[in-house]
């Protein structure tokens, strides 16, 4: 036993909550009363389990490490990692580890967390079945996925928060994910039927196959992995299965030593987080506070702080838990807060549903519509930061205005009182953040350091930024944690210094190894500032899958081929070659909205063979896979049309040949119409050109997509020379100054001075940049070389176009198709194709 002056607390488990307990105790134990001994079964010290999915792709364990998790320089904390506690001698106050180590304690804190629930289906213990909980789990999944090859099917059992994260991880590993959820909708604990329906649509569009309302009946061995049978008797052939069907409190150690547990599991504790044994506490997911376990990190942190105070003689109690959640799943925003399911008596629901834009919003209000009780947001969770702190408070004005744009302006950060909680993970109020700003905390990092706001899930960071802006503080424009510079600043550094590799740029101007944000951004900058091939040297390691293989990956792991057709023009000979290639390789052909022909269903090893024939026929890469110029759409113009006043086809061909291969922050689309009838839909494009009798009208910054925006008139009645010069300047100014993945429409919206400033720069040369911008474009034009032609001339580059690097002669057996009246990829359980000669009866159409 320890002496009177120094007592020992043993912490079993070193997850996020266990680490928070140690940190809190050490910060508050100013007299050094306690010696801390941490025993953890995992070999890694505390890491960010909430951000576990960010490990995929980077595969850098240190990037997830929590700050201070080794307690370097603190001799009051000892850690034993990779060692499990197997016995507790409650009478003697001693724990014993699996290695035989005995540790005496004055207080014992159980922070054992939870374990993944694996349904007891036949075959659940197959070696191709995994759980999604630890870094080691992800390493195992990665090894199996890579062995299976690109496009292999992975089944995720569970469609909740972690299930969709696991599906996203499989997607990032190049697999084709199927999600099986027993409930009738995805994320049944967080979203309602309306939100679930939209969420399913959105993730399906992103390549997931969703099976709801069914369970998993059996998992059997198969030659290429496993065969998964569902409760509706359908079968999925898969390379692996990931169980993510929820978690259970890891309370076995307590059960084995006589500590009471809750009805649904978890170690029973009072509001002070103390068990029946006065010297033993439980915190985090394993603690059943008055019978209830909480599976989120914020209430876990609260339990950690309660126990730290108890050991120091303070009498604090668990304050309850905010179960609000906000996250981005596969790029889709999802959030729920407060009484999201409207369980309050006589509560009213206000719903705003825009399936076309991919947005679903619901708020729950009191029966007199004056108090906000909760809500759900799917597709666009930007309102979460404002709405969540308002729960339980009076609504200023019309409740519908909180979520429906047409109902009026929403609520700003200024409307929130000082006691509104901005960071629920760490219990930080608006007033605390504003006080920190007033005391000199002038950026996100400083506010995190002095208030802890934003240090856990990060969901409150937009609100912190809004408070900084409201206080007149200029926010950092750092690209990411590895570069303090903005994308525009990095562009200038590369342009001025002539740096040509990511490693040199990060060595001289950044820190660390880089991430999924800065690597592709720098790859784009390098491509925009030279004519180097994107698969040369280090460049290839920075590219995503599409750029890596110079083709668009489709949902079954095959690729599409899109030859360039400038302005929509194509010769009869080229059409014949396209047809022969499609026939000989069994490809599906589709005329696109960008006036091209798409060839679908090519295996990666077939791409060089296909492109050899297309290049020999005089065709180039259409670069439909890159963040670059996609197409220049045109009408037939004055050459053929009796209404045309200018040669729109000739201009479209000129523009496409001039700007082909131009890498940019996002994709670019052009349109050229020969008259005001606008058959080329030029005003929906990043660059729109419309002919008039007085010359060309130039429109800029129009976008289609999820948030369509009309292009705006930049110049009118200009001749060919001015048109080209203005487009040169506009594009290069955009490429130099836009943020990563920012299309031209939002770029112009965010540009200080807006269209007037852009016009001054482009047309009036107000910044004196015209000659420089034009020279940069001229350099691109003169240095252009077709990317696929360059690959075909390089034996080293050709070596990467194989299904399996270690077995280049093997054809990927997972890529399959079915032929009905059109070729479609087989994604398992694909319904038979409908008879396309008859009109189907309408089903489920509202009257």
- Which of 134, 150, 37, 145 is closest to 93 using CA atoms? 37
Please check if 679 is assigned to a binding site: yes
Alpha helices in 220-318 (DSSP H): 252-256, 297-311
Give SS3 for 663.
Answer: strand
d(CA 796, CA 115): 47
Who's near 686: CB < 8 A, 6+ residues apart? Answer: 668, 669, 670, 700, 701, 702, 703, 711, 743, 744, 745
φ/ψ of 588, rounded to 5, equals -90, 130
d(CA 333, CA 199): 9
**Most distant CA pair in the chain, distance:** 101
d(CA 440, CA 433): 11
d(CA 602, CA 552): 10
Partner residues linked to 394 by β-bridges:
371
Partner residues linked to 122 by β-bridges:
218
Please check if 641 is assigned to a binding site: yes
Who's near 360: CB < 8 A, 6+ residues apart? Answer: 194, 195, 198, 351, 352, 353, 354, 376, 377, 378, 379
Stated as kind and residue range, the H or E segment containing 615 is helix 607-616
Q: What share of the chain is helix, strand, coil (3-state, %, to 5)?
A: 35, 25, 45
Give SS3 for 795.
Answer: helix
What is the CB neighbour count within 10 angstroms for residue 249?
24
Strands 372-378 and 668-673: unpaired
d(CA 448, CA 381): 22
d(CA 539, CA 665): 16
Who's near 396: CB < 8 A, 6+ residues apart? Answer: 411, 415
**Alpha carbon separation from 239 to 59, 141, 143, 217, 226 (Å, rounded):** 21, 10, 11, 17, 6
CB-CB contact of 318 with 303 (8 Å): yes
> Can you give the C-alpha Rg of the chain in angstroms?
30
Report the C-alpha dihedral over residues 735, 737, 742, 745, rounded to 10 degrees.
-90
Burial class (CB in 10 A: 0-12, 13-18, 19+), 419: exposed
In sequence order, what DSSP letters do the residues of 749-794 get, joined into one string? HHSTTHHHHHHHHHTS-TTS-HHHHHHHHHHHHHH---HHHHHHT-
Please check if 675 is assigned to a binding site: yes
**DSSP category for residue 703:** B
Stated as kind and residue range, the H or E segment containing 720 is helix 720-737
Give SS3 for 250.
Answer: coil
Who's near 431: CB < 8 A, 6+ residues apart? Answer: 418, 419
d(CA 675, CA 697): 10
Alpha helices in 439-571 (DSSP H): 444-451, 461-470, 487-497, 502-509, 518-528, 539-542, 545-549
Please check if 635 is assigned to a binding site: yes
Per the annotation, binding residues for [4Fe-4S] cluster are 635, 641, 675, 679
Per the annotation, binding residues for siroheme are 679
Per the annotation, binding residues are 635, 641, 675, 679
């Amino acid at each position: 036993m320890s002496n009177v002056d120094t007592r020992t607390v043993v912490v079993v488990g070193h997850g996020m909550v266990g680490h928070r307990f140690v940190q809190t105790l050490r910060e508050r134990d100013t007299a050094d009363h306690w010696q801390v001994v941490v025993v953890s079964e995992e070999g890694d010290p505390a890491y960010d389990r909430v951000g576990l999915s960010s490990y995929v792709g980077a595969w850098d364990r240190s990037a997830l490490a929590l700050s201070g998790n080794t307690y370097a320089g603190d001799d009051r904390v000892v850690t034993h990692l990779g060692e499990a506690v197997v016995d507790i001698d409650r009478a003697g106050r001693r724990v014993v580890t699996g290695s035989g180590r005995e540790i005496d304690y004055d207080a014992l804190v159980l922070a054992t967390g939870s374990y993944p629930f694996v349904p007891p289906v036949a075959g659940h213990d197959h070696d191709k079945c995994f759980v999604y909980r630890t870094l080691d789990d992800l390493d195992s999944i990665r090894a199996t996925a890579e062995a299976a090859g690109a496009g292999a099917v992975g089944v995720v059992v569970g469609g909740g928060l972690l299930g969709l994260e696991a599906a996203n991880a499989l997607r990032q590993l190049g697999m084709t994910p199927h999600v099986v959820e027993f409930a009738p909708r995805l994320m049944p604990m967080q979203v309602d039927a309306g939100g679930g329906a939209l969420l399913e649509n959105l993730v399906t569009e992103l390549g997931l196959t969703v099976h709801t309302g069914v369970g998993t009946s059996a998992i059997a061995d198969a030659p290429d992995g496993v065969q998964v049978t569902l409760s509706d008797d359908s079968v999925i052939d898969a390379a692996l299965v990931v169980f993510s069907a929820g978690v259970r409190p890891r309370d076995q150690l307590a059960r084995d030593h006589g500590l009471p547990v809750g009805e649904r599991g978890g170690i029973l504790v009072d509001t002070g987080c103390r068990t029946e044994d006065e010297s033993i506490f439980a915190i985090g997911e394993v603690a059943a506070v008055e019978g209830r376990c909480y599976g989120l990190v914020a209430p876990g942190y609260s339990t950690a702080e309660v126990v730290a105070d108890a050991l120091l003689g303070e009498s604090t109690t668990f304050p309850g838990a905010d179960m609000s959640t906000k996250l981005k799943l596969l790029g889709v925003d999802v959030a729920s807060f407060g009484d999201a399911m409207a369980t309050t008596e006589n509560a009213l629901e206000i719903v705003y549903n825009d399936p076309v834009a991919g947005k679903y919003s619901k708020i729950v209000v009191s029966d007199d519509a004056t108090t906000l009780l909760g809500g759900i947001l799917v597709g666009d969770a930007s309102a979460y930061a404002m709405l969540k702190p308002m729960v339980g408070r009076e609504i200023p004005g019309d409740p519908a205005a909180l979520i429906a744009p047409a109902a009026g302006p929403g609520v700003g950060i200024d409307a929130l009182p000082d006691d509104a909680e901005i960071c629920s993970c760490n219990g930080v109020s608006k007033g605390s953040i504003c006080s920190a700003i007033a005391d000199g905390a002038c950026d996100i990092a400083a506010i995190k350091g002095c208030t802890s706001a934003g240090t856990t899930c990060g969901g409150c960071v937009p609100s912190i930024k809004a408070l900084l802006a409201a206080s007149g503080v200029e926010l950092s424009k750092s690209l990411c944690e590895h570069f303090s510079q903005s994308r525009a600043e990095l562009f200038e550094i590369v342009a001025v210094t002539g740096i040509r590799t990511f490693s040199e740029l990060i060595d001289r101007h950044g820190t660390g190894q880089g991430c999924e944000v800065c690597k592709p951004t720098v790859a784009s900058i390098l491509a925009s500032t030279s004519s180097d091939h994107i698969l040369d040297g280090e460049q290839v390691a920075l590219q995503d899958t599409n750029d890596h293989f110079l083709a668009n990956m489709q949902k079954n792991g095959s690729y599409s081929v899109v030859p360039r057709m400038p302005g929509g023009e194509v010769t009869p000979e080229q059409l014949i070659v396209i047809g022969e290639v499609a026939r000989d390789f069994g490809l599906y052909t589709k005329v696109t909205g960008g006036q091209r022909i798409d060839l679908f269903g090519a295996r990666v090893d077939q791409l060089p063979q296909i492109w050899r024939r297309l290049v020999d026929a005089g065709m180039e890469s259409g670069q439909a896979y890159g963040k670059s110029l996609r197409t220049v759409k045109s009408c037939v113009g004055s050459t053929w049309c009796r209404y045309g006043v200018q040669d729109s086809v000739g201009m479209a061909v000129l523009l496409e040949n001039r700007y082909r291969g131009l890498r940019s922050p996002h994709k670019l689309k052009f349109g050229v119409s020969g008259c005001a009838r606008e058959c080329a839909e030029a005003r929906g494009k990043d660059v729109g050109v419309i002919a008039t009798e007085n010359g060309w009208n130039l429109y800029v910054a129009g976008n289609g997509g999820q948030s369509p925006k009309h292009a705006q008139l930049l110049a009118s009645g200009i001749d060919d020379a001015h048109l080209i010069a203005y487009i040169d300047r506009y594009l290069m100014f955009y490429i130099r100054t836009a943020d990563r993945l920012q299309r031209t429409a939002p770029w112009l919206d965010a540009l200080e001075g807006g269209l007037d400033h852009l016009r001054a720069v482009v047309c009036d040369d107000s910044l004196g940049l015209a000659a420089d911008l034009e020279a940069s474009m001229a350099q691109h034009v003169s240095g252009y070389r077709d990317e696929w032609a360059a690959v075909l001339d390089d034996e080293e580059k050709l070596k990467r176009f194989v299904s399996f690097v270690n077995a280049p002669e093997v054809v990927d057996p997972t890529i399959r198709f079915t032929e009905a009246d059109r070729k479609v990829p087989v994604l398992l359980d694909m319904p038979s194709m409908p008879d396309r000669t008859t009109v189907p009866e309408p089903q489920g159409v509202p009257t």
